[in-house]
Structure 1
Amino acid sequence: MSLPSSRTRIIQVTCAIIWCLFAAGPIFGFAALKPILIDQGVYHEVCSTAASSSSTKACVEQDLKLNKMFTIGAVVTNATALIVGHILDNYGPRICGIIGSILIAIGALELSSFLKWIPLDPYLTGYVFLALGGPFVFISSFQLANSFPKYSGMILALLTGAFDTSSAVFLCYRLIYQKIEKIPLNIFFGIYLIIPVFIFLCQVFIMPNSSYKTIGTVQKLGIEGLDENGNLIEGDDGANFAVETDERTSLLSAPQGGEQGRPRGTSYTNDGTRRKSIYEEIIEDEITHKSGNIFGILDGESIANQLKSPFFILMCAFTTIQMIRINYFVATIRSQETWLIGEELGQKINEIFDIALPLGGIVAIPFIGIILDNNKTVNVLTILLITSIFIGICGVLQNFSINLIGIFLLVVYRPFYYTAVSDYSAKVFGFTTFGTVYGLMMCISGIFNYAQTILDFITQRYENSNPIPINLLLVSLTVVFGTSLIGYILSQQKNIHRKRLELEADSAPEQEIPN
């Protein structure tokens, strides 16, 4: 599609950043919202008579029900990714965004008690609709990465940073609630309706009807610095193109060209099928080396073969455990820390976490880029595994300082983990099937996330709120699936290296020049 004016594109990107900041993932600020829900008496009726005298501290039944509300919201958010990708590819970003705005509006109306005549749990229903709408408005914004091709990396970073920061919506509400005025839930979410209305109006009057790029193309742009045709990004004639072009920094310097819509250096078969361009050959060779020879290892395979591969199964299992660990901690941080270090210090940790979570993604962005750009895929996964294990160890020790270190690592680890999984999926499975493979991985992980409700119940009912046994179980599963994944990748790298040596040995006699 032809690009609209620079002014229009700037407005589009700005609007997307604003709505991602307020609507992409506010449900992950649950730890900040939970004290307000308790103070407002949400689900207080489930407490026994003996425990119902205080509304400032949740009874076990109330705590479990509130945590379940977040768990279902987290499940829905991740499981929706696959549906969003399908709608986005088939109906475009505008329809996707409009659907998202309507879902968020329904969620806000439920939580503001405006739809109380509907015989449903307004809190659970409202939270689920907020969770449903988030991916629609967030993922549909990715295509804006190519609204300014030379600054694709920056735009993606801003959108991702806005998503991570969106958990601060409930933090700001809690600070106002505790420090200034106790604004009731119905008033707050009534005001929050401004956000879905803003998104709807932006979609109708400002945003493009068709995508600048597909999700797979955006990922290709992020890793290779090339468009779907193997073009360089606009602004470079390719004269200074070098093999050592960095796969990430090329987002800010590489460029699109080619006469008559065809990439420079690209050849075509007789039936018009595009072969890889010169730029693709050079960059992919470099990325293959950087990734440890697994770049594109399953590219071109059928979806069925990709999903049956240990590359998918093991990464999906590892991703599932990490998602459960992160969301389980978000839901239960207060009770976990209270048991480990006492109520006063537990509350302090909770308050620090509420602030650190939205900041974590912003702080982590440059470090994530450096790690992904300068390490082989297996090394990235090793860093991911070691960090995850260390965070798990910090979470079972009864020491304030160590717990605090674990908190700071967790908020940085969360965006690192999501980005690493995305990067791995694109490099191993290719860009053509990226949306399906990555979306399915997130969907499966999200569905299994419901297991944290069972873990929470076991902790509260059978472990007397002691979080250590469950945390040790999750860390153990992390070690099992993480080491299995890394071990499998290393074995495949050895196989590739062995086959390459065999090919070189077989071709050696053919290269001899006869007398």
Structure 2
Amino acid sequence: ISTDNLSAWDAQFTACIWLHFIEKLGVMEMAPSLSQAHRRRWWMAVSAIIENLLFSAVLLGWGSLLIMLKAEGFYSHLCIENTTEHHVNRSLEEDSVWLSCVEQEEVLNLGFTIGSFIISAATLPLGILMDKYGPRPIRLMGSSCFAFSVMLIAVAAYDPSILSPLIFIAVSFNGFGGICLTFSSLTLANMFGNVRSTILSLMIGSYASSAVTFPGVKLIYDLGVSFHLIFWVWGGMACLVFLNCIVNWPVEPFPAPEEISYTKKVKLSGVAMDHAVTGDRCYTHETTVEQEMTKNQVLDEYAQCSGAPQQSQGTQPFRRSVCSAIFLWSLITMAMTQLRIIFYMGAMNKMLEFLVTHGDPYAPEELVKESEEQVSLYSSVFGTMQLLCLLTSPLIGYIMDWRMKDCEEDNSLVDGERRPPKRDRKIQKLTNAIRAFIFTNLLLVIFGITCLIDNLPLQLVSFVLHTVVRGFIHSCCGGLYAAVYPSNHFGTLTGLQSLMSALFALLQQPLFVCMLGPLGGNPYW
């Protein structure tokens, strides 16, 4: 079994070992209580957003990382072995002697395929692990994996002719560590009550905007800072995430607001009675007892007191949810969307190059140099635009929460009774989710059209649409599942959808090879 085949699974295979090791270190004993964490929630939220920006799905800024890896000579020995072929050209850096070629880009793009696959596929096992261990050990494991990954890249850069294969292990740990940090940060929104949706959208937006990190790193690299120094410092910063988690994140999972706001009121009352012998009147005391209880406890007690058969949201079998038409169609839609988004990010540099050279294999030296400059410029612009995910993510949250206040009961009394809500909550949630899903897919269609137009400046519009769709699509899908399916199926359905989309997105590697080979670099096919 080759190292390339193993590297896609090594990070997930060692997840439980990392969790056991973290427990043995005794860091769980240093954790704050839930009440202490609640007082620090704003610090935790702000720091989590920054950590998501710097350490989560940074691999989505692959275009900028690819330029740096080529400049550092990763897999350049493949070009040295084929120096007689016409498609070999020198790096843009004047002081670099490394060569670049199609074979090099194919192998490096395989690393991106592996890393992006793990980012999506790891959500299902992570959901199971977090249900069992809580977000704290997941976050500790994630920061450790990320720090290890960037340090491994720094080590491989010392002798890329020999150590280039380490890039596959590095991107595997990078993708796994990043999604661990993202997944654990989503639970923080439970501590913010009425603004929970806003905090959640900011977490998702910061995750989607993390693609801006590698373009930022490339800017520092272009200023002359050593590649090794950048990645060693970055690894040290990831260690600070580990320390922040030890100090501020509790062992217990953050309970949702509805799980701590329920109160049980037991009213003990009776009628005045005359004792049969003494004639003394005995009154029962009327008291009210309040205690915190979860939603399930409320349902249990209601069933016991009313004599009604006990029911729960889990009465619908999971197989029925999986086999429903809505879920199956969402799998097809999300798989195609994921493949479109991932392929564009992996092949963007070659697509931009084709717009300049129009696929001419014998392009003059001036045109080749111009194409490299344009690719470098546009990849930096694309990376910078990833911050739009953070700015536009509250918009999709607003669409998902449209007129939800009309679904609340009016506390004012009319003829001794509360006014019923104006709208059914579940119907409104489903309507909002459908609107958001249609709007996002409409943007995706427009994105596909702009990509087919042979105009380089117009690709800036494609960049904006790609960024917005990537920030919207997961929120839309999650909102649809939350509106249609029982809550105890939500996590598993989301993880299953993400896993299936990741498997389908693996097709981007053969598509990329096909584009560079038989299609001669023409992306329009």
Which amino acid in structure 2 is aligned with residue 174 of structure 1? Answer: K
Instruction: Pick one of 143, 151, 154 that aligns with 1:101.
Output: 143
What SS does the aligned partner of 1:227 have?
Answer: helix
TM-score, normalised relative to structure 2: 0.71
Tell me the equivalent position of 1:207: 249
Cα shift at 1:305: 1.8
Native 8 Å contact 1:3 1:147 kept in 2: no
Cα shift at 1:440: 1.1
**Structure 1: stretches of 5+ with no match in the other structure:** 218-225, 233-257, 276-295, 470-515
Matched ranges for 1:448-463 at <5 A: 448-463=504-519
Matched ranges for 1:354-369 at <5 A: 354-357=383-386, 359-369=387-397
| Closer, same or farther: CA 190–308 of 1 in aligned 2, 3 Å | same
Native 8 Å contact 1:104 1:196 kept in 2: yes
Distance (whole Å) between structure 1 residues aligned to residue 343 and residue 470 of structure 2: 13
Instruction: Pick one of 69, 77, 83 that aligns with 1:37.
Output: 69
Matched ranges for 1:112-131 at <5 A: 112-113=154-155, 121-131=165-175
Asked if residue 385 in structure 1 is aligned to residue 441 in structure 2, the reply is: yes
| Closer, same or farther: CA 341–260 of 1 in aligned 2, 3 Å | same
**Structure 2: stretches of 5+ with no match in the other structure:** 1-32, 93-98, 264-288, 358-370, 403-430
Asked if residue 312 in structure 1 is aligned to residue 341 in structure 2, the reply is: no
Instruction: Pick one of 131, 154, 162 that aligns with 2:206.
Output: 162
Asked if residue 325 in structure 1 is aligned to residue 340 in structure 2, the reply is: yes
Distance (whole Å) between structure 1 residues aligned to residue 503 and residue 250 of structure 2: 32
Tell me the equivalent position of 1:82: 124
Native 8 Å contact 2:434 2:480 kept in 1: no
Cα shift at 1:141: 1.6
Matched ranges for 1:4-403 at <5 A: 4=36, 7-47=39-79, 48-50=82-84, 54-56=90-92, 58-113=100-155, 121-178=165-222, 180-184=223-227, 186-213=228-255, 227-228=258-259, 231=262, 259-262=290-293, 268-271=301-304, 300-342=315-357, 343=371, 345-357=374-386, 359-374=387-402, 376-403=432-459
Q: Which moved more, 1:338-347 or 1:195-204?
A: 338-347
Native 8 Å contact 1:340 1:397 kept in 2: no
Q: Which moved more, 1:109-118 or 1:30-39?
A: 109-118
| Closer, same or farther: CA 273–421 of 1 in aligned 2, 3 Å | farther
Tell me the equivalent position of 2:494: 438
Tell me the equivalent position of 1:490: none
Distance (whole Å) between structure 2 residues aligned to residue 301 and residue 316 of structure 1: 20
Native 8 Å contact 2:34 2:250 kept in 1: no
What SS does the aligned partner of 2:401 have?
Answer: helix
Distance (whole Å) between structure 1 residues aligned to residue 307 and residue 156 of structure 2: 55
Native 8 Å contact 1:17 1:162 kept in 2: yes
Distance (whole Å) between structure 2 residues aligned to residue 353 and residue 133 of structure 1: 24
Native 8 Å contact 1:229 1:262 kept in 2: yes
Native 8 Å contact 2:150 2:174 kept in 1: yes
Native 8 Å contact 2:156 2:166 kept in 1: no
Cα shift at 1:10: 3.0
Cα shift at 1:81: 0.5
What SS does the aligned partner of 1:468 have?
Answer: coil
Deviation string, structure 1 residues 184-235 (Cα, Å, up to 9, x no partner)? 2x3222111123311222222221101113xxx5xxxxxxxx6247859xxx
| Closer, same or farther: CA 104–272 of 1 in aligned 2, 3 Å | farther
After superposition, the CA RMSD in angstroms is 3.0
Tell me the equivalent position of 2:266: none
Native 8 Å contact 1:165 1:361 kept in 2: yes
Cα shift at 1:26: 1.0
Deviation string, structure 1 residues 84-135 (Cα, Å, up to 9, x no partner)? 1111100111111121122112212211117999988211211111101111
Q: Which moved more, 1:27-36 or 1:106-115?
A: 106-115
Distance (whole Å) between structure 1 residues aligned to residue 348 and residue 448 of structure 2: 13
Cα shift at 1:262: 4.6
Deviation string, structure 1 residues 449-480 (Cα, Å, up to 9, x no partner)? 111001001111010010011xxxxxxxxxxx
What SS does the aligned partner of 1:90 have?
Answer: helix
Cα shift at 1:162: 2.3
Matched ranges for 1:498-513 at <5 A: none
Q: Larger C-alpha radius of gyration, 1 or 2?
A: 2
Deviation string, structure 1 residues 2-55 (Cα, Å, up to 9, x no partner)? 532654333333332232221111111111211111111111111212355613
Cα shift at 1:299: 6.9
Distance (whole Å) between structure 1 residues aligned to residue 334 and residue 307 of structure 2: 35
Tell me the equivalent position of 2:7: none
Q: Give the aligned length.
A: 409
Cα shift at 1:157: 3.0
Distance (whole Å) between structure 2 residues aligned to residue 151 and residue 299 of structure 1: 28
Distance (whole Å) between structure 2 residues aligned to residue 328 and residue 210 of structure 1: 39
What SS does the aligned partner of 2:302 have?
Answer: coil
Query: Runs in 1 of length 4+ with deviation above 6 angstroms?
Result: 114-120, 272-275
Distance (whole Å) between structure 2 residues aligned to residue 137 and residue 49 of structure 1: 43
Distance (whole Å) between structure 2 residues aligned to residue 21 and residue 10 of structure 1: 17
Tell me the equivalent position of 1:479: none
Distance (whole Å) between structure 1 residues aligned to residue 306 and residue 211 of structure 2: 45
| Closer, same or farther: CA 209–28 of 1 in aligned 2, 3 Å | same
Cα shift at 1:341: 4.5
Distance (whole Å) between structure 1 residues aligned to residue 306 and residue 187 of structure 2: 25
